[in-house]
Each structure stands twice: as C-alpha cells, then as structure tokens.
Amino acid sequence: MGILNLTTDSFYDGGKYNSLDKALYHTESMLKEGAFFIDIGAASSKPGSELITPANEKKKLLVVLEALLDRFPEAYFSIDTYNHEVAQACIEMGASMINDISGGNLDAKMHETVAKYKIPYVMMHMRGTPETMQKNSHYKNIVTEVLSFFSQQTKAATNAGIQDILIDPGFGFGKTLEQNYTLFNNLNQFETLGCPLLIGVSRKSMIYKLLDTTPQEALNGTTALNALALDRGAQILRVHDVKEAKECVDLWLALQ
C-alpha cells in the first residue's frame, strides 16, 4: 500500500504531493514500483493536529481522487478518513477501501456507511484524537488492551454489516517508543482476531528516534521492520517507499 499524502504537515512528505500534477506523478511511480493499493489522505494525523471537517477534507480530496480514478482506472484506491461523509463521497466516486485511524470511534456513522457499500474497512487503534493521543499512552498491558479494542470494534463493525475487516495496531498513535516495540514483538497474537493485518511503520519515530536519525534517514530501518512484520503475520505494508517494500514482500514470499 503506497501512501499519497495530500496534507501539508506530514512528518515525512508533507506538502510534496498536494498539487494535482505531483499527486498524479507520484501515484504513477508507486503503481509502477508495485503498489497494489494507493492510500490517499487529506486529514493530518500528526500528533497535536486538530480534526478536519468533512467539508474541508472533501475540498482537498475529491478533485484529486477524481483525476486519479480517471488516469488509473484499474488501480485500487484506499481513503484514509475518519469522516463518514467523506467515505461515502469517495466510495461513490470509485474508491475501493476505507482506512479509518479511529476504528469508527470518531464518527458513529462510519461503520454503517462502509457496510452499505460492502467494501473492505481498515480499522486502526488510537486512543483519543491526533490532538490528544500522546497524552493517552498509559497502559497496564498494551498488547492485551489493543487486542481488547479490536475485539470490541470488529464485533461492532460486523454487527453493522461490514464483511471485510482489516486491522492496524496503530504504531506511533498514542504509544511510547517502548510500547511500540512491545506491540510489534507480539504481532503474532493478532492472528487470534481472524482479520488481515496491516502494518504502518514507514519512516516513523519508533525507527528514527531509536536510531537517533531523522525520517529522511529511516528507510533502512523501515525495510528491516517491514521484513520482520511479514514474518510476524503482516499481510499489507503501508509505506512511503514502494520499491523497497515490494522487494521485502517478494523475498519473503520466495522463502515460503
């Protein structure tokens, strides 16, 4: 899954692809490098950022999605949103999947909206909102509590009628450096949920802070964790650098 950020303040590539021409070029590059999904986000989830209104999100997103669908009709586009109005508008245009960082907690109508259109739904674990999440990193047992969250939310989504659910542990969202690695080291336990596992560690602080570098220097660390994630059950890698991630997948598959 290649990342297409339309935000201006992403920790790694903010502002690089928020013009139509640049978004089209970057999408074409990721597809050529082997991306199966393109995940488009127009709402910032950077720690401390405020929630975006559906109207502002659609203003940033819909014109780009329309152009992408026209240029790449065979591609699969995932929409990174927590607003059901945005999800509905994008699905009706032709989006293939919804990727919700809140797992349905920020919009009570999200589950029923996704269920109505019968498309896959990625639910991520996050406490609070991007603005407050780093103040909510107190866990007695992070693995047990994240598993409990998914058990509850997958049940709610299934009860709403969603048939295809994927889970994302939410690395970096309301979690300390140590908690991120505890969670990563226990990824195999998520198999008990019976849902495909999506992993997003690309160039995140859990890599560059541990290695004392920067997001720009975190590709090697990202590749290392992507390979380990595949061995721990990951079925989708959400990445900025598609070529390197695709090579990880191809090499891992060759060993199976």
Task: State residue 9's pLDDT score.
Answer: 58
pTM exceeds cut of 0.75: yes
Nearest to 9 by CA among 46, 37, 64, 38: 46
Q: Which domains does the chain have, with CATH numbers?
A: 2-254 (3.20.20.20)
Q: What is the mean pLDDT of the chain?
A: 94
Which residues are marked as active site?
204, 238
Task: State residue 12's pLDDT score.
Answer: 47
What digits encode the pLDDT tens for the residues 203-248? 999 999 999 999 999 999 999 999 999 999 999 999 999 999 999 9
Task: State residue 47's pLDDT score.
Answer: 78
Count the residues in the chain: 256
Backbone angles phi, psi at 98, to 5 degrees: -115, 135
Q: What is the DSSP letter of 13?
A: T
Alpha carbon distance 102, 178 (integer Å): 22
* 3-state secondary structure (DSSP) of residue 5: strand
Neighbours of 52 (CB within 10 A): 22
61 touches 98 (CB < 8 A):
no
Residue 82 has pLDDT above 80, yes or no: yes
Q: Which has more pLDDT, 139 or 132?
A: 139
Describe the chain by its helix, strand, coil percentages, rounded to 5: 45, 10, 40
Task: State residue 159's pLDDT score.
Answer: 98
* 3-state secondary structure (DSSP) of residue 239: strand
DSSP H or E stretch at residue 143: helix 142-160
What digits encode the pLDDT tens for the residues 145-196? 999 999 999 999 999 999 999 999 999 999 999 999 999 999 999 999 999 9
Average pLDDT over residues 51-69: 95
Alpha carbon distance 49, 99 (integer Å): 18
Give me the numbers of helices (H) and strands (E) for the chain, helices first please. Answer: 9, 8
Enter the tokens of residue 164.
Answer: 């295809």
